[in-house]
Amino acid sequence: MGSRGAADFFMCTREAVGYTVAMPLNVEIEKLPDGVAVVTMTGQLTLGLNLKLADSQVHAAIAQGATKLVFDLTGLDYIDSAGLGMVVFTYGTLNEKGGTLRLCGVASRIASVLKLTKTDELLGMDATREDGLAALGVKSQE
């Protein structure tokens, strides 16, 4: 390494392999009448503290009476197996309560993960938030 220090070497290595910083996960929950809620996720649904916080928020909404959820994934860039597990666990929790989970705005990259794991056969998917709400029987708010 010559006169370069360990930090300089790491910097070069990061740039050489295209090191990128993961986007944080942002979750917003909009509660609607009749036990309906829209959960909007942006960023990356991956293993870590943000996933744990998102799971806690979603299950708090379920504990408060939400039984029909739409996960709006329009702003979600990436999902790993832990994130997929959270989605499937939420589906199971709602299913046990007689509820429903719909996904909308699923990017092609995420749709391919759902298809590969056959999760797309389990979860209802819609193009838009409005389509997801309509599938739950929620009338348009126009």
| pLDDT category of residue 141 using cuts at 50, 70 and 90 | low
- Report percent pLDDT > 90 for the chain: 80
Tokens of 68: 């029909």
Which residue has 């910097």 as its token pair? 11
Higher pLDDT among residues 66 and 1, named by residue: 66
pTM of the model: 0.83
Q: What is the mean pLDDT of residues 8-17?
A: 37
Q: Which domains does the chain have, with CATH numbers?
A: 22-135 (3.30.750.24)
Distance, in Å, from the CA atom of 75 to the CA atom of 4, rounded to the nearest integer, reads 41
Provide the residue count of the chain.
Answer: 142
Q: Has residue 1 got a pLDDT over 80?
A: no
Task: Label residue 12 by pLDDT band (50, 70, 90).
Answer: very low
What pLDDT score was predicted for residue 8? 36
The string of pLDDT tens digits covering residues 103-137 is: 999 999 999 999 999 999 999 999 999 999 999 99
